[in-house]
Amino acid sequence: MPEQSIDLPQGMLDLLILRTLALGPKHGWAISERIHQVSSKVLQVQQGSLYPTLHRLERRGWIKAHWGASENNRRAKYYELTKSGRKQLEAEKSEWRKLAAAVAQVLETA
Amino acid sequence: MLSDLLIRLRALFRRNAVESELDVELRFHFHQQIEKYISSGLTREEAMRRARLEFGGLDQIKEECRDARGVQFLETLAQDVRYGLRMLRKSPGFTMVAVLTLALGIGANTSIFSVVNGVLLRPLPFPKQEQLMMLWEKDKDGLRSNTSWATYTDWNTENHSFTGIAAISFWSPTFISTNDAENLMGFRVSSNLFDVLGVKLEHGRGFLPPEDVRGNNFVVVLDHGFWQRRFSGDPKIVGKPIQLGSRAYTVVGVLPASFPSVLSFDPRKPADIYTPLAYDATLPYACRDCRHLRAIARLKDAVSLTQANGEMNQISENLFREYPKEYSAPGVTLTPLKDYLVGDVRLVLLVLLGSVGFVLLIACVNVANLLLAWAARRQREVAVRAALGAHRTRMIRQFLTESLLLSLLGGAFGLFLAWGGVALLQRLRVGNLPRLENVQIDTWTFAFTFGISVLTGVAFGLVPAFRASKLDLIEALNESAKGTAGRERQRLRNLLVVSDVALALLLLTGAGLMMKSFVRLLEVKPGFDPSKTLTLSLALWGPKAEDAHAVAFYQQVLQRVEALPGVESAGVVSQLPLGGNGDMYGIHVEGKSSPDPEEDPSADRYSISPGYLRAMRIPLLRGREFDERDGAGSPLVVLVNESLARKFWPLEDPVGKRLRVGDSKGPWRTVAGVVGDVLHAGLDAPHTLQVYLPQPQFTDTAVLLVARTSNDPASLAATVRSEIAVLDPQVPVSSVATMEEVVSASVANQRFSVLLFVLFGAIALLLAAFGIYGVISYGVAQRTHEIGIRIALGARRREVLRLIVGEAMRPALVGAVFGLGAAFGLTRLLAGLLYSVKPTDPTTFAVVFVLLVAVALLACYLPARRATRVDPVVALRYE
């Protein structure tokens, strides 16, 4: 439930969005829902950060957008991963793993 | 990255589309969220409420998205510009005055400096032009003198300082084309002239040394303008012959258009044509003391002016020792070519530059003032915006944009004014300025002036924004501008009034002095009556240029002209007074001349026909005028002017005395009469000695015809021309002008200066008046409340008026006094330009002071009067 969710810091949002899109094009709401679901409802994406981040990622050329019809036949903007986006995803994934491992190590030994 | 750029561009140019897309996208998310909550069991209303809460501030999200799009800066800039334009449009008075003020300052400064740059500062368009020198001999008074062929050749062979020395001499050939004849102004030049100058001809070539020899010298090089005018710019003229006088000359080259009118004696008209000097030592006029050549030299790269000076002086000393009779003194003068050309106008232009600088200063001061008042008026707006959460930087940017807009507008206008001003000056060809045709709007000047106004605009436009951060918002919102902030600002405004008035007074004083000087100049009596008199020049050439024929021809022409209806009298003369020429001869008076003929004084020589004195209304004081008796074979006679008579025969009757003209061993001429003085070199020139000789006894083959008419002289021109053409169609007639035009042309330089000074003075006065008016209006508006109280408490309107005006005039008077002091100190710089007026002329100072105080008074009175007219009830309520 929402009270138990953790708000995502902005820096990680890039990574999660890219990962989510790696599985196929989605519109903004779908991305937000997916992250929420897959994280066992722990991570809650704020709309206030989602859309600006999406636009920023679009500017950087890692995702690209097109308009289409949603499941309930509404006009929606879909995003998909580009080639450079895929490369960025791999890069950020390995960064993240290194970071997580380092933090864990510090926490263990301290 | 391409995608980045594309997105930014799209965001910039398709803003509406992008915005609505964002809207749709967010709305979709919103709806999806609502659906989700509905499907999890909430009612529609609850679902919507929750979704709305989660969504937070929609606008904030949009804002962040916009930020993320990265065109924030440009968008806000566009917004600022739009807002700024709207604000400026809402106060058209303020905007117009500010823009106009800036435009005047920028425009005046740019155009004058462009002229100064083009005429004074810009180097001559020759390669390494700083190496070009004029070489003069020195006469016994140390003054510059022409040189002779013999000296020139010696200089050439003996010097090591120059890559080459060229010699030039005047030449006035008559160009004969199929249907008319024209007197040209030209030069005979040594074959190396174009090399020395470093000129590359546009067509053909310069002269070759074999052509600089008598017999082979019938070749010419054409000036570009002459070539365009007479040969329609046809390059095929090179190699073809043209008719000059009675000979054919082959055109070998055409000069480029950029070749300046460096060498001509009239800076407004470049020389038309050049031919080789073709001298050799056997010629009679190649003598060492026949000085009619001018020398131009180019320094060698490694040689400095001092070194060259030293060497040439040494050479000159050697020559002086070797030929003591031909040289009156040793020594040479080296003058850089550019200085020689522009020397005369340097003072005028620099003074003008100073004046214009002052005008710019006034303009900036005024604009600063305007912006301060503007800022104060928008205090409230600033406070409201600050209260609503506007960032300080945002407001600063806003005001900055407005100031820049003003500066840009003013600059654009100013550029337009400057361009028009320079074009006007060039079209009028005022003031005999050399190189005027080369003047263009100088980009550096414009940038500099523009930069200054931008700086002023920025500096004073930022004031309100900065004040905003120090503001007590509540106080500002209540708009009580009394208190220390108000007083301090008032002091600043007073300071600006003081400087405005002081500068205006300074400029006006200068203008007043120049005007007075010019008026005095024009009042000078030239010694003849220039009204209703036509003049034109005619010249004989070839075989007709022979004395007897010339005399007979002139008599025939005069007979015909005198017979024309409306013509009262007519005559010919070898040179016109104030005509810009000088023809002086040594005067050797019997019994009163010195053993060294060089020591005897010189006089202007006029060879005239009997009708000349009457046509010019030059009074005869003693004796008789010339008549038919004084022919070629008759006893030689001469008329002298009053100054000459007074100098040599102060107590005796000059009539009957004898003197020699020119040649100290020549024939004696008997004085037949004394005539009044005329001014020859200029209206401000001292009286010179003058002699008149009968044409038959001292003939010129080129003369000026003078005809006095009872009607309009200009309308006579065509008729006279045709009369001459009937007698001989191949005689070129030129320089047609009325005598009044001739006199007027002789003061063209002074007129130009006066015009500009008066213009700047007027601009300064206008700007100062505006400035004062603006400041006082503002100050008075601030005090409306106080005025209302005073009137309500029983003060009479007149008393209040006097109070306000009195207080307002104080800074103006202080400024006037300051200005007076500054003028006292600075006008002495004008002394060189003033005729018969002292730089501290008390009348001028007094008049200008009174004028300025009166204008200031008016500028104070008008707004004050408006304020006292206000209904006290309204005034009391005014916040």
Predicted local confidence at residue B795, as pLDDT: 79
Closest Cβ opposite residue A48 in set B21, B25, B56: B56
Predicted local confidence at residue B218, as pLDDT: 93
Contact with chain B for residue A37, Cβ under 8 A: no
B511 pLDDT exceeds 70? yes
Which residues does A11 contact at the CB level (< 8 Å), separation at least 6?
none
B406 pLDDT exceeds 50? yes
Among residues of chain A, what percentage have pLDDT more than 70? 89
Among residues of chain B, what percentage have pLDDT more than 70? 92
Is B68 within 8 Å of A56 when comparing Cβ atoms?
yes
- Interface size between A and B, measured as CB pairs under 8 A: 71
Mean pLDDT of B119-140: 83
B187 pLDDT exceeds 70? yes
A-interface mutation test, from B12, B65, B72, most A Cβ less than 10 A away: B65
Alpha helices in chain A (DSSP H): 10-21, 28-38, 47-60, 83-109
Q: Provide DSSP, B338-362.
A: HHHHHGGGHHHHHHHHHHHHHHHHH
Among residues of chain B, what percentage have pLDDT more than 90? 25
DSSP summary character for residue B595: S
User: Which residues of chain A does B64 touch, with a Cβ-Cβ cutoff of 8 Å?
Assistant: 48, 51-52
A58 pLDDT exceeds 80? yes
Predicted local confidence at residue B431, as pLDDT: 55
Q: Report which listed range, A49-53, A73-77, B529-533, is most confident.
A: B529-533
Give the burial string for B462-496 (b: 16+ CB within 10 Å, else e): bbbbebbeebeeeebeeeebeeebeeebbeebbeb
pLDDT band at B39 (very low <50, low <70, confident <90, very high): confident
User: Which residues of chain B does A46 touch, with a Cβ-Cβ cutoff of 8 Å?
Assistant: 56
Interface of B with A (CB under 8 A): 1-4, 7-8, 21-22, 24-26, 28-29, 31-33, 35-36, 54-57, 60-61, 64-65, 67-70
Three-class SS state of A45? coil
List beta partners, residue B570.
B707
pLDDT band at B616 (very low <50, low <70, confident <90, very high): very high
The lowest-confidence range among B94-98, B218-222, B438-442 is: B438-442
Mean pLDDT of B333-342: 82
Interface predicted TM-score of the whole assembly (ipTM), two decimals:
0.82
Residue-wise pLDDT for B817-856, tens only, equals 999 999 988 888 888 778 888 888 899 999 999 998 898 8
Closest Cβ opposite residue B64 in set A32, A33, A52: A52
- Between B643 and B182, name the one with better pLDDT: B643
Listed residue (B436, B533, B418) closest to B752, CA to CA: B436
Is A48 within 8 Å of B60 when comparing Cβ atoms?
yes
Is B7 within 8 Å of A58 when comparing Cβ atoms?
yes
Predicted local confidence at residue B446, as pLDDT: 78
Mean pLDDT of B176-191: 84
Mean pLDDT of B732-750: 87
Mean pLDDT of B86-91: 80
Torsion (CA) B128, B131, B134, B139 in degrees, nearest 10: 170
Residue A98: Cβ within 10 Å count: 10
Predicted local confidence at residue B1, as pLDDT: 63
pLDDT band at B483 (very low <50, low <70, confident <90, very high): very low
Classify burial at B566, counting beta carbons within 10 Å of its beta carbon; exposed 0-12, middle 13-18, buried 19 or more. Answer: middle
pLDDT band at B372 (very low <50, low <70, confident <90, very high): confident
Is B65 within 8 Å of A51 when comparing Cβ atoms?
yes
Q: What angle do CA A46, A48, A53 make, to 5 degrees?
A: 95
What is the strand order of the sheet A75-81 is part of?
A: A26-27, A75-81, A63-69
Mean pLDDT of B130-148: 86
Kindly tell me the sign of the dihedral angle through the C-alpha atoms of B613, B614, B616, B617: positive
Mean pLDDT of B136-158: 87
B485 pLDDT exceeds 60? no
B812 pLDDT exceeds 80? yes
Q: Provide DSSP, B251-269.
A: EEEE--TT--TTS-SSTTS
Residue-wise pLDDT for B742-764, tens only, equals 998 888 878 877 887 888 888 88
> How far, in Å, CA of B400 to CA of B371, rounded?
11
Which residues does B131 contact at the CB level (< 8 Å), separation at least 6?
B298, B299, B300, B301
Work out whether strand B332-336 and strand B132-138 pair parallel, antiparallel, or are unpaired: antiparallel
> How far, in Å, CA of B32 to CA of A33, rounded?
10
Predicted local confidence at residue B329, as pLDDT: 84
Closest Cβ opposite residue A47 in set B4, B61, B70: B61
B-interface mutation test, from A45, A55, A70, most B Cβ less than 10 A away: A55
Predicted local confidence at residue B425, as pLDDT: 75
Q: What is the mean pLDDT of chain B?
A: 84
- Between B435 and B139, name the one with better pLDDT: B139
pLDDT band at B261 (very low <50, low <70, confident <90, very high): low
Predicted local confidence at residue A59, as pLDDT: 82
Torsion (CA) A53, A54, A55, A58 in degrees, nearest 10: 120
Is A76 within 8 Å of B28 when comparing Cβ atoms?
yes
Residue B50: Cβ within 10 Å count: 16
Q: Report which listed range, B261-265, B598-602, B778-782, is most confident.
A: B598-602
DSSP summary character for residue B618: P
- Which pTM was predicted? 0.68
Decide if B692 contacts B639 (C-beta within 8 A): yes
- Domains observed in chain A: 2-109 (1.10.10.10)
pLDDT band at B385 (very low <50, low <70, confident <90, very high): confident
Predicted local confidence at residue B481, as pLDDT: 47
Closest Cβ opposite residue A29 in set B29, B60, B64: B29
Rg of chain B (C-alpha set): 38
Work out whether strand B247-254 and strand B203-204 pair parallel, antiparallel, or are unpaired: antiparallel
Residue-wise pLDDT for A70-79, tens only, equals 888 888 889 9
pLDDT band at B13 (very low <50, low <70, confident <90, very high): confident
Which residues does B251 contact at the CB level (< 8 Å), separation at least 6?
B204, B219, B220, B221, B222, B237, B238, B239, B240, B241, B242
The long-range contacts involving B341-345, CB below 8 angstroms and separated by at least 24 positions, are B341/B124, B341/B262, B341/B267, B341/B434, B341/B435, B342/B119, B342/B120, B342/B434, B342/B435, B344/B749, B345/B119, B345/B120, B345/B431, B345/B433, B345/B434, B345/B749
- Between A50 and B866, name the one with better pLDDT: A50
Predicted local confidence at residue B437, as pLDDT: 66
pLDDT band at A8 (very low <50, low <70, confident <90, very high): low
Predicted local confidence at residue B878, as pLDDT: 57
User: Which residues of chain A does B67 touch, with a Cβ-Cβ cutoff of 8 Å?
Assistant: 52
> What token pair was written down for B831?
């002394």
> How far, in Å, CA of B430 to CA of B748, rounded?
7
The lowest-confidence range among A38-42, B44-48, B553-557 is: A38-42
Predicted local confidence at residue B466, as pLDDT: 66
Chain B: residue nearest A57 by CA?
Answer: B68
Predicted local confidence at residue B651, as pLDDT: 92
Q: Which helix (H) or strand (E) holds B781?
A: helix B748-782
B659: phi then psi, degrees, rounded to nearest 5: -150, 165
